[in-house]
Structure 1
Amino acid sequence: MALSPLEKIQVWLFKAIAGLLFVIFRLFSPRRIGLSEKRVPPVNNPLLLISATQLARKIRRKEVSSVEVVQAYIDRIQQVNPFLNAVVKDRFAAALQEAAHVDKLIEEETGGEEVLEDRLPLLGVPMSVKGSIALQGMPFTTGVVLRQGIVATVDSPSVALLKRVGAIPLGVTNTSEICMWFECHNHLYGITNNPYNLERTPGGSSGGEGSILGAAGAVIGIGSDIGGSIRMPSYFNGIFGHRTTPGIVSCENQYPPFTATQEDYLSTGPMCRYAEDLLPMLKIMAGPNAHMLSLNTKVDLKKLRFFIVPHDGGSPLTQPVSKEILNIHRKMVERLEADLGVQVQEVRFPELHYGYQIWETYMHLPDKEGRAPVPFSVVMGEPGPPVWPLWELLKWMMGKSDHTMAAISAALAEMTQVTKPSTFLIQQKEKLQKKVDELLGTDGVLFYPPFPSVAPKHHHPLFRPFNFAYTAIINTLRLPATQCPLGLSEEGLPLGVQVVAGKLQDHLSLAVALYLEKTFGGWRDPGAK
């Protein structure tokens, strides 16, 4: 298989832009000094080491008050956020008032613990919310300078559903500019750091969520994912994150806007430190669509079929998968086979070679009415006129641009796009879709690297801009996937794997997440190195 001459030129242009940006960034970017000598403090409050499910149970049983739990997380955020810059706006005072109301409600409840558990399963539990997802009264800017001052007037459906069952939002977290990059950085709130190494990125676009959860500043949170924006931050920060089968959890009241075609590949889903919280969160967030998933079905892992794809076959656009990742995946396979008596079959798909190009093609397909997505240069300029990418690049070099290099790069790359969708790439996607759907069926699970390396240093994604293809291709296939931590690297950075299941089979990957947490230890305190 080979790309057409026009597509080869496009790949060359992408690489040339990345190389040019490397030179420009090295010459003009400010230096970040001394971060490697800092890390977040260790967790010293035992309330921060309990899952949301268990916290809710303790609150219902009056073993601990909601005020105590909320205050513990407020204290932790105030302790770690100066290191991380993850929470960009808090609502601590309102959260404490809501927690006090919860405690009063529990005191007055006459129906017993079972009634509260059934009606309000997350009663009194604090949570964080990605800044691109509307939380009433909180900034709704998605890191865009021109949107400064815009406040959400309503809750997004997923936020509203979690609040309705008793969860208490503590604030909103940072994102990449316009959610279009896997580095959590914008010129409105600045850059967010990884709690395991402050010189490393927490990923994006749900990077603030990943960072504050990984630092034990939150126990549960909400993210969104159109190219890996839940799974990459979950991986880089050593937590669990689930990309839901598209169309199950509502994506309304989020920014930036998306087309009907893009919505086919976008998911809103749970992010958390403990695997047991994934399924109850998804049940709540799915709302009226929960019946479409078999979330109450008990999964016997010994009856599942397991597959692993080690890498994308050596795409020229992506970095080779590191030996550390390949080794931990090998150990995972060995444990699965020994513990469950199953066989994990290695499979390869040559179509993955074109993972990024497939994703990029489908992100720009017109909808059923023939309307193309709004150009990124237009979104960057809203509510004003579109930006001129080359002019913004010159302004950035002089320190005068309101936009990040990542956003400017995306606008520059958009200028190289082929206007007519590639028939070859559409054929590759259709072949891959058929192969994977047939392989997984309703009882198959596939392991695939979430990224070729551990969390990169800040801004290094600019020089390896296509590595997110490892998560993005799963979006294009419209499949659910759960990101699971697998311990730490020799450098003390999280390792992990994405567990992919068939359409509407979210419960399978969630069940595997519970097993992997038990086997490999799950989340690790980044301050306890």
Structure 2
Amino acid sequence: MTLSLLERVQAWLFRAVMAVLFGLFRVLSPRTGDSRKLPPVDQPLLTVSATQLARRIRRGEVTSVEVVQAYIDRIQQVNPLINALVKDRQEASQVDKLIEEESGGEEALADRLPLLGVPVSIKEAFALQGMPQTVGIVSRRGTVATVDAAAVALLKRAGAIPLGVTNISEVCMWGESHNRLYGITRNPYDLERIPGGSSGGEGSLLAAAGSVVGIGSDIGGSIRMPCFFNGIFGHKTTPGVVSSDNHFPPSSGRYEEYLSVGPMCRYAEDLLPMLRVMAGPNAHRLSLSEKVDLKKLRFFTISHDGGSVLTSPVDRQLLQVQRQVVEHLETHLGVQVQQVSFSELRYSFQIWDAYMALPDDQGAPPQAFCEVLGTPGHPVWPVWELMKWMMGRSDHTMAAIALALMEKTRSSTAPPSSSLLRHKEKLQREVDELLGADGILLYPSHPNVAPRHHHPLFRPFDFAYTGIINILGLPVTQCPLGLSSEGLPMGVQLIAGKLQDRLPLALALHLERVFGGWRDPGAQ
């Protein structure tokens, strides 16, 4: 795949301008010099998967109170450093009494309450009864959920115990979890780095061993980027399988086609049981009980997006670790991994941006970002907010203001260009045909390991590596693959055909055994 001379010039000019702005930002912005480290995990209960914890609780080998207390103690250790949990719940549980009264035995409990006694953290965008649901908007301060989101209710019904709600980016629309209400969340591997967004609080808390499983939402990479930056597992489900009811902001336009709700966790074996619970009545659509033989699958790999004008080049270490996955699959599974490419991937951001603006079947456009920022009052005026920000008086982050300004410069009624529609339709057709019902595609999660705080402002389109998969409507498992030379997590996206979620889940479980999965950031 080659770029035209015009595209190469455009790429050079864009990166040159971003480099100049980025250089000015580094010179003018204060450096925190935060070299503090997380304490290592020293409580054995914190290094046990949710699946194993539930089994041990059912057998009476450990009480739920002991498990929850171990996590509360860990949160008190790490949250002052990472600022991931914004409101704790710390509720007393009747789990241990329930076990004593259960007459059907362990198997009956496992079938009825598969997550009995397991602590779970919840992204603040989801309604958790009695907990804040502000999505980082100052004007929503004091907003408290009166019900549980559908996925949260299913987890609680399965016996999970919510620890509290975690920080997010403002209105869930940025790759860094920072807002004027709760502040900035930090990456546990390096406090000067971002944990990603919008489910960044989840990613940070899980990686810091402050929770064992959590719940996130993803419309452009909001599960996968935090999981990638924090070295944990996450799964973006096939859209429409897990309900997004009582998630804020609510879906509008055609967002339901691109939004996915899914599990985030430190241990790969927890992904499938979490997904089975969260999918509820739709779980049968995924055939999660069907055994997966990796040796009978077809594998493909793509190293980069083909040279988009807007995205950064993929880091050499990420390319190398992806090649290591390919070599392992070919050597140890005896499969052939085919290198493929799609020329349309270089337009990933443009496709994502165009399709996010499409109206629904009744012709209603998605709710304007400025309107959501102003809830429950009037829409935000971004030019005025920019002026206030320059004087340190705005209630909004620069990222949110910049997004609002971009929205104002784009006509909400203009349909996507015919060329973009053709690019998307061609890409959809080719990827669907390639993957079928037995294919898995390896694709970079992001061009770089976790950037420093605020640096995404100068690389705003790098999320296109995850965002394009939302528009294609495909399930993806984010899989950690060890640490870079800087001690930061690396990983890869494992992409499958629609409703074939069980395939990348199985591969993630295999790769965890080979590459080691989650690493304790306090021990690095």
The match for 1:437 is: 432
* Residue of structure 1 aligned with 2:55, choices 44, 57, 73: 57
* Residue of structure 2 aligned with 1:103, choices 77, 80, 96: 96
Letter paired with 1:512: L
Distance in 2, Cα, partners of 1:17 & 1:173? 35
The match for 1:503 is: 498
Deviation, 1:414, is 1.3
The match for 2:333 is: 340
Matched-pair contact (CA < 8 Å) for 1:18–1:465: no
1:371-386 correspondence runs (5 A): 371-386=364-379
Deviation, 1:26, is 5.3
Matched-pair contact (CA < 8 Å) for 2:253–2:364: no
Consecutive unaligned residues of structure 1, counting only runs of 5 or more, are: none
Whether 2:476 is the aligned partner of 1:478: answer no
Whether 2:239 is the aligned partner of 1:246: answer yes
Distance in 1, Cα, partners of 2:17 & 2:249? 25
* Residue of structure 2 aligned with 1:310, choices 285, 300, 303: 303
Tell me whether 482-491 or 412-421 shows the greater mean CA deviation. Answer: 412-421
1:120-177 deviation line (CA, Å, top 9, x unaligned): 1110000000000110000000100000000000000100000001000000000000
Letter paired with 1:439: L
- Runs of 4+, deviation exceeding 3 Å: 10-29
Distance in 1, Cα, partners of 2:105 & 2:401? 56
Deviation, 1:417, is 2.2
Deviation, 1:412, is 1.2
1:337-365 deviation line (CA, Å, top 9, x unaligned): 11100010010000000000000000000
Letter paired with 1:336: L
* Residue of structure 1 aligned with 2:112, choices 81, 103, 119: 119
The match for 2:342 is: 349
The SS at the match of 1:523 is: coil
Matched-pair contact (CA < 8 Å) for 2:306–2:343: yes
Deviation, 1:516, is 0.7
Change (3 A) 1:81 1:495: same
Tell me whether 374-383 or 210-219 shows the greater mean CA deviation. Answer: 374-383
The match for 1:76 is: 74
The match for 1:388 is: 381
Tell me whether 415-424 or 354-363 shows the greater mean CA deviation. Answer: 415-424
The SS at the match of 1:415 is: helix
Whether 2:33 is the aligned partner of 1:34: answer yes
Distance in 2, Cα, partners of 1:14 & 1:320? 13
Change (3 A) 1:21 1:385: farther
The match for 1:458 is: 453
Deviation, 1:420, is 3.0
Change (3 A) 1:2 1:50: closer
The match for 1:47 is: 45
Letter paired with 1:33: T
What is the aligned length? 518
Deviation, 1:390, is 1.6
Tell me whether 368-377 or 18-27 shows the greater mean CA deviation. Answer: 18-27
1:285-317 deviation line (CA, Å, top 9, x unaligned): 000111111100000000000000100001010
1:243-280 deviation line (CA, Å, top 9, x unaligned): 00000000010111221511100000000000000000
Matched-pair contact (CA < 8 Å) for 1:333–1:344: yes
Deviation, 1:16, is 11
Whether 2:107 is the aligned partner of 1:130: answer no
The match for 2:87 is: 89
Letter paired with 2:494: V
Letter paired with 2:366: P
Distance in 2, Cα, partners of 1:28 & 1:186? 21
1:456-508 deviation line (CA, Å, top 9, x unaligned): 00000000000000000000000000000000001110000010000000000
The match for 1:233 is: 226
Change (3 A) 1:16 1:493: closer
Deviation, 1:379, is 1.4
1:246-285 correspondence runs (5 A): 246-285=239-278
Percent of aligned positions that are identical: 69
Letter paired with 1:189: Y
